[in-house]
């Protein structure tokens, strides 16, 4: 079935890399501490109409596995100087912005809690929409880490927070027809992936003439469920990160083109990049 428009899905990605200092920390030393580095990356959105899609993050907590009480959380990021607003359109396909670094105890962690204070959309015509943040976001959005994250002295662990922009910033009506458009609703949708046990798919997209295809939507599915997605950059390149080991159906679409199943069985291995280049045929 011919696609009437591209699938615009984006991500706000916070990569939580845990880096341990020095050889004086033995691998099995209980009670050791490590340093937590938080990055922000990869958030495409329909660039033909939207100039910026922003969120402000007040703080991020992470929970010790199995501890259901309030004392089980450790704050790994807190915005103390009100500088946490990020334009998600500036960050896509592996580009990162560092949020914070912090020492934290080693152990197993199974859940993160994200506090979002503000969100907004600015169109290219200058119209700004300041969006109401749901009460659930104000009290902390809880996302389970799958699989759970192991922090050990002398080793590295990484966590990915993936916010689906197209589902989080919901247009009320048709954005391209102002008479029937009534702004946006902010309904944050997130996933958490253990990057330590994840791989990625990356490559380039071109048209039938071999020319780079910018702003094509590329996504992966498992069991007919979209896991994550992105838009190609100006050079036609894409990257889908934070994918657990396994097989995925890789699909793509662009405005006025048919949806294309690039490969129904793309394998992903932890710590490795699977490269897939492809062409979107003319409709």
Tell me the pLDDT tens digit for each residue of 126-141: 999 999 998 877 789 9
Residues paired with residue 250 on neighbouring β-strands, in sequence order: 220, 263
Which has the higher per-residue pLDDT, 107 or 209?
A: 107
Can you name the residues that pair with 38 across neighbouring β-strands?
16, 100
Segments making up each domain of the chain, as ranges: 11-280
Dump pLDDT digits (tens) for 59-104. 999 999 988 777 789 888 888 887 788 887 777 776 666 766 677 7
- pLDDT at 229 > cutoff 70: yes
What CATH number matches the domain at 11-280, 2.60.40.3540, 2.30.40.10, 1.10.287.310, 1.10.730.10?
Answer: 2.60.40.3540
β-strand partners of 87: 54
Q: Kind of pairing, strands 278-280 and 198-207?
A: parallel
Region 212-225: mean pLDDT is 87
Cα distances from 79 to residues 144, 154, 160, 161, 191, in angstroms, run 22, 28, 19, 17, 21
- Predicted structure pTM score: 0.75
Report pLDDT for 46. 53
């Amino acid at each position: 079935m011919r696609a009437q428009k591209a699938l615009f899905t984006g991500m706000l990605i916070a990569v939580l890399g845990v880096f341990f200092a020095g050889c004086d920390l033995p691998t099995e030393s209980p009670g050791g501490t490590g340093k937590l580095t938080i990055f922000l990356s990869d958030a495409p959105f329909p660039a033909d109409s939207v100039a910026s899609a922003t969120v402000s993050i007040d703080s991020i907590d992470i929970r010790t596995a199995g501890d259901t009480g309030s004392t089980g959380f450790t704050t790994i990021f807190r915005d103390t100087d009100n500088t946490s607003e990020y334009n998600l359109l500036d960050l896509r396909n592996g580009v990162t912005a560092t949020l914070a670094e912090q020492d934290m105890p080693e152990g197993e962690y199974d859940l993160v809690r994200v506090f979002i204070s503000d969100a907004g959309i600015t169109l290219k015509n200058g119209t700004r929409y300041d969006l109401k943040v749901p009460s659930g976001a104000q009290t902390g959005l809880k996302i389970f880490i799958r699989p759970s994250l192991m922090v050990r002295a002398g080793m590295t662990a990484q966590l990915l927070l993936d916010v689906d922009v197209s589902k989080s910033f919901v247009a009320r009506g048709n954005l391209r027809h102002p008479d029937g458009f009534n702004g946006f609703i902010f309904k944050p949708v997130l996933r958490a992936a253990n990057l330590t046990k994840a791989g990625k798919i990356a490559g380039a997209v071109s048209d039938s003439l071999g020319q780079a295809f910018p702003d094509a939507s590329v996504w992966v599915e498992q069991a007919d469920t979209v896991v994550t997605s992105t838009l190609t950059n100006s050079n036609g390149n894409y990257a889908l990160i934070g994918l657990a080991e396994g097989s995925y159906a890789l699909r793509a679409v662009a405005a006025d083109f048919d949806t294309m199943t690039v490969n129904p069985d793309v394998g992903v291995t932890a710590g490795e990049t699977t490269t897939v280049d492809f062409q979107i045929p003319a409709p």
